[in-house]
Structure 1
């Protein structure tokens, strides 16, 4: 998985806490299951500092199209609507019935 490798590489090379948290949140939002269901719950890890957590949550709060719910357990649930391109109707081509051969 490309996203997991980016995160593992970032952790291994000693990136800042905010970069690591931002990468983790981005990977969670972009995960195929999250994209289908259009929501994801982000849990704060022990390694997420107060400053980093507050900064990333602030960026998400300011992002248009994302609804945030701060849960009692400290997690945050993000919800979003489908983009206009995702809302387009699916075109279905029906096969014309062939006349009976007799």
Structure 2
């Protein structure tokens, strides 16, 4: 029982380390016309938004481009986040009896 508790603690620590690492993984998504660039972390935190000055004259185009680009950036961040968290959770799945908790 003590060994299983130790494994659980190790798995929880690995999950926390993965969450911290996700904050340092960044990616850039660009609008189709290249006028907006969004930098986002795999922890789904927007780090930076660059907007070409030409979009400041047309708020509707700015809004459309911003929404589309932010959504693409969030999708990319979600994919990386899910992949990393699944890898971290895999350790928990290998512990006796824990697979049943996750639907296996």
Q: TM (normalized to structure 2)?
A: 0.30
The structure whose residues are more often helix, as a share, is 2
By relative contact order (CA 8 Å, sep 6+), the higher-ranking structure is 2
Q: TM (normalized to structure 1)?
A: 0.31
Q: Which has the larger radius of gyration?
A: 1
